Chain A
């Protein structure tokens, strides 16, 4: 084998100054139980896992295990999110609580939703929350629409990563607008991660082939028939898509076929025709 040796760890995702081997980020919702959560996340190889912040149940199941016992912050980068927040104020409040919960950890996922049916982001509120959070020292990874101008504004505010949607959260519809994602990837300096809408492994590979820095998903793994197996499929797809992007695909040549085999030395019968 004469293939060049790949230097382990040379191609890493760098977010807020920290390097990660895995470019797959996963959510922790919608699993049957904590055991399935743990097994799927192990199989995904993800190093950054996102969690929601909610009121503690009081007087119920006092001895129940805690998600952070299953996914210890010593092993994973815990990315608290603002899922379910519809105003900048609620998102900021949630993340201040998250920072206290995680002993001052400042890397967060901001999302401010605009509509309960589509879960589309409310971008004016997202921009407003991002400004406040950056001023308070948070390292903000911002979920956003696939509008290149708004994505750039998030970068200008000081977000450490910008995370445009592929399609609606939890819809599994895949990448609806690769062209907009491409513009965002090409124009931003900070990492761009495709977040939301991935349905299956090929969607993740396509996202990575576009040149994005990573993919964040939850439902595509948790709601697969076999979540642990799908987690592995996503891991492989993200790796394959990244390798494909780095390798550089051949140019598309519409309507121009080009045989891979030599055209010389073909056996010919008298009746054969040029193809």
Chain B
């Protein structure tokens, strides 16, 4: 089985694994699998930025990004600090 998946303007060709459909900050995305959180952050052009990630309501520690894989249907939140007071 071969799948062409378009993500961020690039076509990914891969075999064996179907792409996963996830939601990131409320927007649906289809990404090639297997996909770690580190790869997701790269895909979102957020590498090196100070952020925090939640999957299905649970914190995903940054220290685990390299070896934690996303699963189909995951709801992901990526947050940062912004100006705000009260």
Residues in B39-86 with C-beta less than 8 Å from chain A:
44-46, 49-54, 57, 59, 61-62, 77-86
* Interface presence of A44 (CB below 8 A): no
Across the interface, B52 reaches (CB within 8 A) one of A28, A101, A222, namely A101
Interface residues of A in 6-64 (CB under 8 A from B): 26-31, 37, 50-56, 58-59, 62
Say yes or no for B25: interface residue by CB 8 A criterion.
yes
Q: Which of A81, A97, A143, A195 contacts B54 (CB 8 A)?
A: A97
CB-based A-B contact count at 8 angstroms: 119
Total residues of chain B contacting the partner, CB 8 A: 27
CB distance from A18 to the nearest CB of B (A): 20
**Do residues A55 and B86 form an inter-chain contact, with CB atoms below 8 A?**
no
Q: How far is the CA of A50 from the CA of B85 in the complex (A)?
A: 6
Partner of B86, one of A58, A62, A67, A111: A111
Let me know if B79 and A67 touch, CB within 8 A: no
B75 to chain A, nearest CB (A): 12
Are B83 and A97 within 8 A (Cβ)? no
The size class of the interface chain A forms with chain B is 35 or more
A222-B86 Cα distance, complex, nearest whole Å: 12
Partner of B85, one of A28, A54, A96, A100: A28
The residues of B with any CB-CB pair to A shorter than 8 Å are 24-27, 44-46, 49-54, 57, 59, 61-62, 77-86
Would you give 7 A-B contacts (Cβ < 8 Å), ordered by A? A58-B25, A58-B45, A78-B81, A84-B84, A93-B54, A96-B54, A97-B54
